[in-house]
């Protein structure tokens, strides 16, 4: 097995069905996990649902069901979303599971044993929707005399007995962490925001509630349940079997990457590392706060009537085209926008017209003009130049960018190699060579066959279903579909030795059509 790599998404709050933001994060995490596997890493990928808190209690009451019934129903929607979008996780962690309660309580005990918890009274502003506490100075004005959180959500004045965590004792330690590990928070702008926030001074954090009982019970204070973010963050440990000294925990912790939305960076880069420091546990290596995905430039909301069902979107355009568009269109870490027209235009121009057409016409010519035979050939300078361009893009440029989560830039390098292949086809004109120089035609087509293999393996993490179908047509073995295999020059001769002939190819990426009524 290769070097371990542990990636997590934020666990989704299931008080509503999944929206496009949930799909975006899940797809991005899946692309990262598949890419790291393709680079030879031993990958563990975890996602799940965050099922406690006042929001779930209120939603269940509104629907006339118990919180447990609501959690069971709604969590299944997130499981179904992952299945529909070809997101292959290793563990789906639900916070209502008994093992998670045990893990959360053990974290609590360790923080308490370190002297960081004390019982007092909380008076302050709380946003039920954000499950977050806010200082008066952070609030913004709403309509009339209303106060809103920095996220624009309603806040209410809350007074109750509470356990507190001595967050104020960790300000200097957190600033030292950010200074010593500049990549702990990415992108850079998020790190600067968090350093500025911590630098202004931290207040102790209320970490229990008594006004409802849907949550993890506080050890020794059964009338208290833990603040939802204490138990939510602990899920990253629960999924590895902690607090037991399991092989999974010793292998995969600390996490290599917590992939989250930019709106919850504070919880993951201030609260979470402070909790872990208090409990004497290693810190994750990196937290990446990605941007929002906007619908035609607008944030989705029920009031605007622009909430998109990601499964319906995948059914309309196809799972792989949707995955490709999201990774290609948006500079990861920044906000991005999508629309039906943008998906159709991007996927038709690049997947259908460029890559798909390259695959289809090359394999069709090999099938028709060479009876599908893959054989040795003599290459010339033009062939070697093309293969060098493709190899650099697929084995060097794309992996370099994907390691840094620069998906759009990595795919851009890949597309330049696709364009180079299409330019090579036009220059070499194998349809003309068929009559004038059949041997040269064979060399051109087999050179393209080799290039398509590299292109397809490189893009496989993004469009896994279609890429695997193309590799099936090429006859590439399952154990050779890794980016680490691209440097193996002997694969082609192994393929020749099988004596298999290519079958008539099937289209990989047909052109998309704009759904009726989708245009603005």
Q: For residues 417 and 371, what is the distance between their CA atoms, to the nearest angstrom?
A: 27
Residue 389 domain boundaries: 340-498
pLDDT at 295: 81
Tell me the per-residue pLDDT of 170-183, one tens digit each, with 9 for 90 and over. Answer: 999 999 999 999 99
What is the gyration radius of the CA atoms in the chain, in angstroms? 26
User: Does residue 430 lie in a domain region?
Assistant: yes
CA atoms within 13 A on the CB side of 268: 28
pLDDT category of residue 520 using cuts at 50, 70 and 90: very low
Give the rounded percent of residues in the chain with a pLDDT score beyond 70. Answer: 97
Q: For residues 187 and 207, what is the distance between their CA atoms, to the nearest angstrom?
A: 28
Tell me the per-residue pLDDT of 279-325, one tens digit each, with 9 for 90 and over. Answer: 999 999 999 999 998 887 667 655 556 678 999 999 999 999 999 99
pTM: 0.94
pLDDT at 125: 87
User: Does residue 414 lie in a domain region?
Assistant: yes
* pLDDT beyond 80 at 379: yes
Across 486-495, average pLDDT:
84
Question: Left (φ > 0), alpha (ψ -120 to 50) or beta: where does 517 sit?
Answer: left
User: Does residue 383 lie in a domain region?
Assistant: yes
> Would strands 4-9 and 257-261 be described as parallel, antiparallel, or unpaired?
parallel
pLDDT at 517: 66
CATH label of the domain that carries residue 472: 1.10.730.10
Tell me the per-residue pLDDT of 94-130, one tens digit each, with 9 for 90 and over. Answer: 999 999 999 999 999 999 999 999 999 988 788 878 8
User: Does residue 221 lie in a domain region?
Assistant: no
pLDDT at 9: 98
Average pLDDT in the chain: 94
Across 423-449, average pLDDT:
97
Q: Which residue intervals of 114-246 are DSSP H helices? A: 171-180, 188-199, 228-238
* pLDDT beyond 60 at 29: yes
Question: Which residue carries 């209502």 as its tokens?
Answer: 96
Q: For residues 391 and 454, what is the distance between their CA atoms, to the nearest angstrom?
A: 7
pLDDT at 519: 53
Q: Please answer whether residues 130 and 153 qualify as being in contact, where contact means their C-beta atoms are separated by less than 8 angstroms.
A: yes
Q: For residues 83 and 61, what is the distance between their CA atoms, to the nearest angstrom?
A: 29
pLDDT at 64: 96
Structure tokens at 219: 């050890």
User: Does residue 409 lie in a domain region?
Assistant: yes
Q: For residues 32 and 258, what is the distance between their CA atoms, to the nearest angstrom?
A: 12
Across 325-350, average pLDDT:
95
User: Does residue 359 lie in a domain region?
Assistant: yes
Q: Please answer whether residues 231 and 100 qualify as being in contact, where contact means their C-beta atoms are separated by less than 8 angstroms.
A: yes
User: Does residue 504 lie in a domain region?
Assistant: no
* pLDDT beyond 80 at 494: yes
If one compares 5 and 304, the residue with the highest pLDDT of the two is: 5
Tell me the per-residue pLDDT of 248-276, one tens digit each, with 9 for 90 and over. Answer: 999 999 999 999 999 999 999 999 999 99
If one compares 169 and 15, the residue with the highest pLDDT of the two is: 169
User: Does residue 362 lie in a domain region?
Assistant: yes
Q: Please answer whether residues 71 and 56 qualify as being in contact, where contact means their C-beta atoms are separated by less than 8 angstroms.
A: yes
Structural domains of the chain, count: 1
Structure tokens at 70: 């609501």
pLDDT at 300: 64
pLDDT at 482: 95
């Amino acid at each position: 097995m290769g070097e371990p790599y542990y990636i997590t998404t934020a666990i989704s709050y299931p008080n509503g069905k999944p929206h496009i933001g949930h799909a975006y994060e899940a797809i991005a995490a899946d692309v990262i996990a598949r890419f790291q596997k393709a680079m030879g890493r031993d990958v563990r990928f975890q996602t799940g649902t965050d099922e406690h808190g006042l929001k779930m209690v209120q939603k269940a009451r509104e629907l006339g069901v118990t919180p447990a019934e609501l959690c069971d129903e709604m969590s299944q929607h997130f499981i179904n979303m992952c299945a529909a979008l070809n997101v292959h996780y290793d563990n789906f962690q639900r916070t209502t599971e008994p093992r998670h309660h045990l893990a959360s309580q053990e974290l609590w005990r360790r923080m308490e044993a370190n002297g960081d918890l004390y019982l007092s009274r909380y008076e302050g502003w709380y946003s039920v929707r954000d499950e977050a506490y806010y200082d008066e100075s952070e609030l913004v004005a709403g309509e009339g005399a209303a106060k809103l959180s920095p996220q624009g959500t309603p806040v209410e004045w809350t007074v109750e007995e509470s356990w507190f965590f001595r967050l104020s004792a960790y300000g200097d330690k957190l600033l030292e962490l950010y200074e010593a590990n500049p990549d702990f928070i990415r992108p850079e702008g998020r790190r600067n925001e968090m350093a500025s926030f911590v630098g202004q001074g931290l207040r102790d954090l209320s970490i229990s509630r008594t006004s409802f009982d849907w949550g993890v019970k506080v050890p020794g204070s059964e009338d208290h349940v833990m603040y939802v973010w204490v138990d939510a963050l602990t899920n990253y440990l629960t999924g590895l079997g902690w607090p037991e000294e399991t092989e999974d925990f010793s292998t995969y912790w600390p996490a290599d990457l917590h992939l989250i939305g930019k709106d919850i960076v504070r919880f993951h880069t201030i609260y979470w590392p402070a909790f872990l420091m208090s409990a004497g546990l290693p810190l994750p290596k990196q937290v990446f706060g990605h941007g929002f995905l906007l619908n035609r430039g607008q944030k989705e909301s029920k009031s605007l009537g622009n909430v998109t069902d990601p499964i319906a979107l995948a059914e309309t355009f196809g799972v792989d085209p949707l995955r490709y568009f999201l990774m290609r269109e948006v500079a990861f870490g920044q906000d991005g926008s999508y629309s039906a027209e943008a998906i159709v235009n991007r996927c038709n121009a690049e997947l259908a017209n460029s890559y798909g057409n390259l695959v289809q016409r090359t394999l069709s010519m090999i099938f028709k003009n060479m009876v599908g035979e893959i054989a040795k050939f003599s290459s010339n300078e033009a062939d070697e130049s093309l293969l060098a361009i493709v190899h650099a893009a697929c084995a060097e440029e794309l992996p370099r960018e994907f390691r840094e989560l620069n998906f759009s830039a990595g795919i851009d390098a890949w597309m330049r190699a696709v364009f180079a292949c299409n330019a090579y086809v036009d220059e070499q004109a194998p349809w003309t060579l068929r009559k004038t120089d059949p041997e040269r035609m064979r060399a051109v087509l087999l050179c393209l066959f080799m290039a398509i293999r590299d292109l397809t393996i490189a893009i496989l993490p993004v469009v896994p279903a279609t890429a695997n179908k193309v590799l099936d047509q090429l006859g590439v073995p399952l154990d050779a579909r890794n980016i680490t295999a691209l440097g193996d020059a002997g694969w082609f001769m192994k393929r020749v030795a099988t004596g298999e002939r290519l079958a008539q190819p099937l289209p990989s990426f047909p052109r998309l059509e704009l759904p009726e009524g989708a245009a603005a």
